[in-house]
């Protein structure tokens, strides 16, 4: 009977992790995918998050929030580590490419280039600014929701977003001047 007691927490932890995975895997995967633009990269991010949970006995008060933020941070970290490797464009990975619908190839190329540029530029922002920018403009959360998720005031969120937009706008302007 004494041997059954030590294994009980492991069984409970495995069941808890299994439940967390079943409830949140899709959201984690989609959040990482929207940032990386690659399903393979998103799967790697999701896998590393759940493996990290399996390897540690973390006391997480709000698992949904923790996993969502971990997905965003993991994806942003992946973009920062990546050098010049090309990502699969969001449109084609999602199967939404408008091939055969009279779309202009140059418009699709420009859009793909802009998406790649944004991914690179996000990797150059501070981790907190990149996360807030992603939550606001990719995940479409409002400043109140971001403040709650990140334990910050709405004023801090607004200022950080303003500064991030200014940096991205400056980089975009520099890029446009370089293409002329």
Looking up residue 152, the CATH number of its domain turns out to be: 1.10.10.10
Report the number of distinct structural domains present in the chain.
Answer: 2
97 is a domain residue: no
Note if the pTM is more than 0.75: no
For residues 158 and 107, membership in a common domain is answered with yes
Last residue of a domain, one of 87, 114, 132: 87
> Which pLDDT belongs to residue 15?
56
24 is a domain residue: yes
The structure tokens 């699969």 sit at 88
> How many Cα atoms sit within 13 Å of 152 on the Cβ side?
18
For residues 113 and 172, membership in a common domain is answered with yes
For residues 73 and 40, membership in a common domain is answered with yes
> Which pLDDT belongs to residue 103?
54
Q: Where are the alpha helices (DSSP H) in 86-153?
A: 90-94, 105-124, 127-137, 143-149
Angle between helices 63-81 and 4-36 in degrees, nearest 10: 50
For residues 62 and 122, membership in a common domain is answered with no
For residues 51 and 78, membership in a common domain is answered with yes
Q: From CA 15, how far away is CA 18, in angstroms rounded?
A: 5
Query: 14 is in which domain, residue-wise?
Result: 6-87
92 is a domain residue: no
Give, for all 180 residues of the chain, the pLDDT tens digit.
444 434 334 434 455 778 888 889 999 999 999 888 889 899 999 988 888 877 766 566 678 888 888 999 898 888 877 643 443 444 443 444 444 444 566 666 667 777 788 888 888 888 899 889 988 888 888 999 999 888 889 899 899 999 999 998 888 888 777 766
Q: From CA 25, how far away is CA 48, in angstroms rounded?
A: 12
Q: From CA 144, how far away is CA 152, in angstroms rounded?
A: 9
């Amino acid at each position: 009977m004494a041997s059954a007691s030590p294994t009980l927490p492991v069984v409970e932890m495995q069941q808890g992790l299994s439940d967390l995975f079943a409830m949140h895997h899709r959201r984690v995967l989609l959040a990482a995918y929207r940032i990386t633009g690659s399903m393979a990269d998103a799967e790697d991010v999701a896998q590393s998050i759940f493996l990290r949970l399996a390897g540690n006995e973390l006391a997480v008060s709000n698992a949904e929030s923790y996993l969502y933020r971990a997905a965003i941070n993991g994806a942003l970290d992946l973009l920062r580590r990546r050098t010049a490797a090309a990502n699969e464009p969001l449109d084609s990975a999602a199967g939404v490419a408008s091939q055969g619908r009279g779309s202009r190839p140059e418009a699709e190329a420009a859009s793909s280039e802009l998406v790649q540029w944004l991914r690179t530029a996000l990797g150059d922002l501070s981790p907190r600014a990149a996360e807030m920018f992603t939550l606001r403009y990719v995940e479409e959360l409002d400043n109140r929701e971001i403040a709650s998720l990140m334990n910050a005031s709405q004023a801090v969120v607004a200022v950080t977003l303003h500064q991030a937009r200014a940096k991205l706008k400056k980089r975009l302007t520099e890029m446009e001047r370089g293409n002329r």
